[in-house]
Amino acid sequence: MKYQTLAIHGGKKDDSGKHSVNYPIYLSSTFVQPDLEQFEEFVYSRGNNPTRNAVESLAAQLEGAEHGLALATGMAATSLVFGLLKQGDKVLINSNVYGGTWRFVSNIFADRGIAYETVSDFNTYDFSRIDESVRMIFLETPSNPLLKITDIRRITEAAKEKNILTVVDNTFLTSYFQKPLELGADIVVYSATKYYAGHSDILAGLVLVNDEQLYTRLKFLQNTLGGILSPLDSFLLTRGIRTLGLRMERHQQNALAVAKYLAGHEAVEDVYYPGLESSENYALQRSQAKGDVGVLSIRLKDSHDSKKFVKNLKIFGLAVSLGGVESLICHPATMTHESYAPELQRQIGIDEKLLRLAVGIEDIDDLTGDLEQALEKAKR
């Protein structure tokens, strides 16, 4: 089956004998055992819940992965994967990752005796100087909020030679546009809160993996740490996934149109969007992904007041997050990336003027019209 057919018909079928089109929501914390010696598949919902298992298998099918795990949030998914690390291990991480991931790395790794190195450009990184303690490479591509693209094949080839795990946070593109496991990665993580769920109504995380041993350890950690996705949210995540392909196409189409519109506007100084042919990452992105994200970042020229611009937008809501059907705008320096110290923000290219747009699936004329009227009012 092709992707969009799988998104609609994949996962598990109703096994209750009722033949419902949608997999039922099993709101049950525990399951009755036939007798003392007999343990069945479902014992207690932290370990396995039918509705959660259904969305886990759907996500795995879409990724082309052997196994999927669903967690309560994207950060629970990332934390689960970081749970593979031990004292003395070292992690390489790209320098502009999501602020919450950075909060984890910069605050919690030290307590656990785990070292890290931030890499500003993995595409030119010299892997021959990697030390023995490096156990994991964690990367986000496109990165957040500057949409830098990392060459996944280059990293995974170098990592494999040295027995290093490669983890890709694929939140921005989803398996619809990019399949990191096929490009050699070991683990894929998602904030499924974003495009997968797609309606800004739940928080969710996913971890996808092929390797049995890795899966066994991650499954153990999921049950032991306990940050699982609830049955109700598993149902809602499944519902979101059914339309993922349609939404991704429209997000991409709208984001490209907005990027082009802004790139040609006299008020705009910079546009960061890998789907623009003028982007330095345009070719690399096309070599490893089938499409582009619905997110872009911009800076206005000094002739325009960014605060006034944001204040006057009527359709783009001022909010963190992305991947829902509605358009949002945020100010990374004080919102999504406030966990980075100001000095570090400057080093990685986040400044007061940077704005991140998460383009929704509304009518494109309304979106550009909204930007136009707000830019007009933002003139100094």
Ligand X SMILES: Cc1ncc(COP(=O)(O)O)c(C=O)c1O
Q: Which amino acid is at 266?
A: E
Residue from 3, 12, 14, 46 carrying the catalytic annotation: 46
The reply to whether 98 belongs to the active site is yes
The reply to whether 290 belongs to the active site is no
In angstroms, the CA 239 to CA 305 distance is: 40
Query: Residues 133-152 vs ligand X: string with x where CB under 6 A?
Result: -------x---x--------
Tokens at 335, concatenated: 């919102």
Residues near ligand X (CB under 6 A), total: 15
Pick the closer one to ligand X by CB: 74 or 275.
74
- The count of other CB atoms within 10 Å of the CB of residue 118 is 17
Per the CB < 8 A criterion, the answer to whether 203 and 72 are in contact is: yes
CB 138, min distance to ligand X, A: 11
Pick the closer one to ligand X by CB: 267 or 333.
333
Pick the closer one to ligand X by CB: 144 or 175.
144
Tokens at 221, concatenated: 């950690």
Residue from 52, 194, 247, 250 carrying the catalytic annotation: 194
Cα torsion angle, 56, 67, 228, 3, sign = negative
Query: Residues 172-191 vs ligand X: string with x where CB under 6 A?
Result: -------------------x
CB 380, min distance to ligand X, A: 32
User: Among 56, 89, 169, 186, which residue sits at the site for ligand X (rule: CB under 6 A)?
Assistant: 169
Judged by DSSP in three states, 116 sits in strand
Pick the closer one to ligand X by CB: 50 or 198.
198
Per the CB < 8 A criterion, the answer to whether 225 and 114 are in contact is: no
- The count of other CB atoms within 10 Å of the CB of residue 237 is 29
CB 148, min distance to ligand X, A: 13
Pick the closer one to ligand X by CB: 177 or 304.
177
Tokens at 110, concatenated: 């030290």
Binding flag, residue 170, ligand X (CB under 6 A): no
In angstroms, the CA 323 to CA 327 distance is: 9
The reply to whether 211 belongs to the active site is no
3-state secondary structure 148-217: CCCCHHHHHHHHHHCCCEEEEECCCCHHHHCCCCCCCCCEEEEECCCCCCCCCCCCCEEEEECCHHHHHH
CB 364, min distance to ligand X, A: 24
Per the CB < 8 A criterion, the answer to whether 262 and 371 are in contact is: yes
Strand order in the sheet with 187-191: 67-71, 205-209, 187-191, 165-169, 134-140, 90-94, 115-119
User: Among 203, 229, 328, 359, which residue sits at the site for ligand X (rule: CB under 6 A)?
Assistant: 203
The reply to whether 169 belongs to the active site is yes
Query: Residues 72-111 vs ligand X: string with x where CB under 6 A?
Result: -xxx----------------------x-xx----------
User: Among 193, 279, 285, 327, which residue sits at the site for ligand X (rule: CB under 6 A)?
Assistant: 193
Tokens at 288, concatenated: 């490893």
In angstroms, the CA 326 to CA 334 distance is: 21
Pick the closer one to ligand X by CB: 312 or 321.
321
DSSP state of 14: -
CB 73, min distance to ligand X, A: 3
Angle at 345 between CA 340 and CA 346, to 5 degrees: 160
CB 27, min distance to ligand X, A: 22
Residues that bind ligand X (CB under 6 A): 73-75, 98, 100-101, 140, 144, 169, 171, 191, 193, 203, 205, 321
Catalytic residues: 46, 98, 169, 194
